[in-house]
Amino acid sequence: MFKKIRRRLGSVLKTKCWSNKAGAHQESVHDQMPGTSEARRESEDRPEQVNTQGHVNKKEHKESPLFPMKPRDVVRHFGHKLSDFELKEFSEYSELWYLGKAESNGNNIQVSPDHIAYRYEVLEKLGKGSFGQVFKCLDHKTNEMVAVKIIQDMRTYRKEVEILKYLRKKDRNDSYNIVFMKTHFYFRGCLCIVFELLGPTLRELKRSLRFSKADVRHIAKDVVKCLTLLEKEKIIHGDLKPRNIMQREKGQGIKLIDFGGSSFEQMNQFLGAYTPFYCPPEVIMNHQSTTAIDMWSLGCILAELHTGQYLFHGVDGYDQIALIMEVLGMPPIEFVQKESTWDFFYDHKGRYRTVIDSKGRKINPGSKDLQGILHTNDLQFLDFIQRCLTWNPEQRLTPTEAMKHPWLQNID
């Protein structure tokens, strides 16, 4: 399926690669992933830059040492070209694979061009957000391209490492469409997470093409497969959206990324980050959260891929609830038992409160038809979306049930 997408995009796909969360609406399009020869750039004020097979810059004399090198050997050969900071930092490493131009400025990593941990050559910035930055890098030890996420605020992202390590143990065969975390470490006061390098996000693909019905079904099945593992392990992704679903290399399916806001269900209340357009009502209303959060998000995503438009495009939580009411009607009584939730929908006499959306429109609950919004006559697809989008998370379609749904059967 994704091979067809790649052919339809033509040269467009060749300009895209890894992009991570970079704020609510920030995205970037990147250059084609360079080959190994392109990645190794020469530097006038640095020692020769070498590859993992030990081929040195031909401009240097034949007796130049080969990498990897022990710190003492680097100091002996290049000590006169290195800063005092670097000379001191070398002692933390048993071997060095690459020397760049990085200088420390407080706890920030300055890049232009640069290295990370004397092993990863930074090729380009792929994304930037409040959490930090993501770079495309050449790993000089393994001679492969990777994505390195550099996180300065580590309070929440330590959990991402914990959850990805946990999931890797449960998915040793890489069959559940979860981004592969290769390793993680600390460098100059920052947490660095090294991932496999993937293709464009669904958000980027949506800009360039219209997904076919078959495309949407394939994407749905790949995402649901991932969610079945998260459901089994009681893990909430919490920020499922097109930007966090990426195409595999060579277009062979998709993978879920960015578990920075993920949590175990046993925490009872979801405290991670979320994007309002894909956020279920129980999160907006601060109810107890479960893995059903992600199935609501999936329903919104599939509707968006099918129509090319957001299903619920609210400007804030209040507006989002108003738009949901317009399609799903009033919430069931069990959803409004919490006092704060009751007060949102009803006054002290139990009368329904008038809800006005951000455009000043009075909301008439249930006045919009989901089938009309989706412009579809595919009743199986409609049923799948409807069962993802229920007020009560306990009545929502589960990933296990979704895998057995007629709409996801008999996919080529």
The model's pLDDT over 183-218, given as tens digits with 9 standing for 90+, comes to 999 998 889 999 999 999 999 999 988 999 999 999
Range of the domain at 339: 199-409
The per-residue pLDDT of the chain, averaged, comes to 81
47 located within any domain: no
Whether residues 287 and 333 fall in one domain: yes
Rg from Cα positions in the chain? 25
The catalytic residue positions are 239
Q: Are 212 and 306 part of one and the same domain? A: yes
Q: What is the mean pLDDT of residues 235-262?
A: 91
Same domain for 335 and 388, yes or no, is yes
Give 179-223 as a DSSP string. Answer: PPEEEEEEETTEEEEEEE----BHHHHHHH----HHHHHHHHHHH
Model confidence at 158, pLDDT cuts 50, 70, 90, reads confident
Look at 112-116, 122-126, 242-246, 328-332 and tell me which has the smallest mean pLDDT: 112-116
Mean pLDDT of 64-91: 84
Whether 107 maps to a domain, the answer reads: no
Q: Write down which residue in 143, 176, 196 finishes a domain.
A: 196
Position 396 in a domain: yes
Contact indicator for 340, 348 with CB cutoff of 8 Å = no
Based on the domain organization, do 284 and 346 belong to the same domain? yes
Q: Is 125 exposed, middle or buried (0-12, 13-18, 19+ CB in 10 A)?
A: middle
Which CATH number characterizes residue 175's domain? 3.30.200.20
Distance CA 24, CA 18 (A): 17
Domain stops at, among 134, 168, 196: 196
- Average pLDDT for residues 319-329, to the nearest whole number? 96
Distance, in Å, from the CA atom of 299 to the CA atom of 329, rounded to the nearest integer, reads: 17
Report the percent of the chain where pLDDT is more than 90. 55
pLDDT on residue 348: 82
Please give the pLDDT value at position 130: 64
Instruction: Give the separation between CA 23 and CA 128, rounded to whole angstroms.
Output: 8
- Closest CA relative to residue 308, chosen from 402, 208, 200, 387: 208
The phi and psi torsions of 177 (rounded to 5 degrees) equal 60, 40
Q: Token pair of 217, please?
A: 């079904």
Mean pLDDT (whole number) for 218-227: 98
Whether residues 392 and 255 fall in one domain: yes
| CB 20 within 8 Å of CB 149 | yes
Lowest mean pLDDT among 5-19, 62-76, 209-223, 241-255: 5-19
Count how many domains the chain has: 2
Asked if residue 404 and residue 296 are part of one domain, the reply reads yes
E strands, 34-113, are: 104-105, 108-109
Quick one: DSSP state of residue 165? H
Asked, for residue 327, whether it belongs to a domain, the answer is: yes
Residue 338 falls within a domain, yes or no?
yes
Residue 149 labelled as part of a binding site? yes
218, two tokens: 């394939």
Three-state SS at 292: helix
Residues 128-146 have a mean pLDDT of 89
Counting Cα atoms < 13 Å in the Cβ hemisphere of 40 gives: 22
- The verdict on residue 6 lying in a domain is no
**In this structure, are 203 and 323 located in the same domain?**
yes
Of 168, 161, 150, nearest to 233 by C-alpha is: 168
Chain segment 35-71, per-residue pLDDT in tens: 333 333 333 334 444 343 343 344 443 455 688 999 9
Domain for residue 75, yes or no?
no
Q: State in Å, rounded, how far the first CA of the chain is from the last one.
A: 9
Residue 15: CB atoms within 10 A of its CB come to 14
Same domain for 250 and 356, yes or no, is: yes
264, containing H or E segment: strand 263-264
Average pLDDT of the residues in 324-340: 90
> Rounded mean pLDDT of 238-265?
90
Give the count of beta carbons closer than 10 Å to the beta carbon of residue 332.
13
Q: Is the pLDDT of residue 2 over 60?
A: no
Residue 218 belongs to what H/E stretch?
A: helix 213-232
H/E element holding 173? none
Q: pTM of the prediction?
A: 0.81
In this structure, the answer to whether residues 217 and 351 fall within a common structural domain is yes
Mean pLDDT of the region 306-311: 96
163 and 219 share a domain?
Answer: no
Query: The CATH number of the domain where 261 resides is what?
Result: 1.10.510.10
pLDDT of residue 35: 34
Asked if 367 and 239 sit in the same domain, the reply is yes
Residue the block writes with tokens 């290295």: 115
Position 131 scores a pLDDT of 75
Write down which residue in 196, 220, 236 finishes a domain: 196
Q: Is the pLDDT of residue 24 over 60?
A: no
Whether the pLDDT of residue 398 is over 80: the answer is: yes
Q: Give residue 111's pLDDT.
A: 41
Q: Is residue 46 part of a domain?
A: no
- pLDDT surpasses 70 at 227: yes
Residues 203 and 351 occupy one common structural domain: yes
Of the listed ranges 38-42, 154-158, 287-291, the least confidently predicted one is 38-42
Identify whether the C-beta of residue 97 lies closer than 8 Å to the C-beta of residue 47: no
| Signed CA dihedral, 327, 328, 329, 330: sign only | negative
Q: Find the helix or strand (DSSP H, E) in which 116 lies.
A: strand 114-116
